[in-house]
Amino acid sequence: MVARAEAEAPPPRYLVPDDCRATEAHAALVIGADPVSVLARERVALNRQNARTLRCADHAQRVFDRLAAD
């Protein structure tokens, strides 16, 4: 019973950095703003989220590699 409870427990917070839990907001839609500028800001936000995703995937891979080595 104890093993099952431990297996269902969420992973410790240090295994997943807070940065990996963050989400990126869409660019604000401003009435009258140039649509190209809105798309440019949206692309910048997407680039930030993609970079965060890659950092988190790299972190997770390092954790898995360490656990597999033990």
Residue scoring higher pLDDT (67 or 37): 37
Considering the chain, what is the average pLDDT of its residues? 85
Which residue type occupies 64? F
The answer for 12, left when phi > 0, alpha when psi is -120 to 50, beta otherwise, is: beta
Residue scoring higher pLDDT (29 or 50): 50
Assign 3-class secondary structure to 31-60. Answer: CCCCHHHHHHHHHHHHHHHHHHHHHHHHHH
**The pLDDT of residue 4:** 62
Q: The pTM is what?
A: 0.69
- In the predicted structure, residue 9 carries a pLDDT above the cut 80: no
